[in-house]
Amino acid sequence: MTQESQDPLTSSLSHVTEGVDGPRARMVDVSHKHETHREATARAIVEFPEGLLGGILREGGPKGPVLEVARIAGVGAAKQTGLLIPLCHPLGLDGVDVEIRQVDENRLEVLCTAVCTGRTGVEMEAMTGASVAALTLYDMTKALSKGITIQRVELLAKSGGKSGPWKREG
């Protein structure tokens, strides 16, 4: 297919190329990019029904050490992002840290920071780590209430690469 006949939308999308039968997904070739230090932090909020979180933090959950299991799950998930998200590059992470802290009497904040020296960013690794840690908090406590919710999975900050640093306002 010639450049003139390509769909302008698909030609501007990095992970879409024009195939014989129309647009198709592809993993971008990053071999030409320089390796840089990359870091990203993401957050997920887990909200518990009124009065439930305090007991979990004091006494633990029905399946054991809730916070520690969620922390380990988040680290493991960040390391597996390239297998979970179809067009993500598998990255050799240099570090992953998952922190879980109480925001108020009913909410926990999960923060996941991923770091590597590479050719592509670690935003998806940080977001996957935060998401899976939050899902694990739900799994570890769902016997106490099905009303637990996971909210606002979001990137907070990233650095490195061609686009440079970015930070969520507020």
At residue 138, the pLDDT reads: 97
- Domain-by-domain residue ranges, the chain? 36-161
The residues pairing with 114 across neighbouring beta strands, listed in sequence order, are 40, 96
pTM to 2 decimals?
Answer: 0.86
Residue 92's closest CA among 67, 62, 117, 66? 117
**Hey, which residues are catalytic here?**
139
Q: Take residue 25 and report the two structure tokens written for it.
A: 């997904």
Which residue, chain included where needed, has tokens 């195939």? Answer: 19
Running along the chain, 170 residues long, what does each successive block of 10 average in pLDDT?
44 67 79 92 98 93 93 98 92 97 98 96 97 98 96 96 91
Distances (CA, A) of 76 to 26, 58, 85, 152: 25, 26, 14, 21
Query: Domain 36-161 adopts which CATH fold?
Result: Alpha-Beta Plaits (3.30.70)
The pLDDT assigned to 16 comes to 65
In the prediction, which pLDDT does 97 show?
98
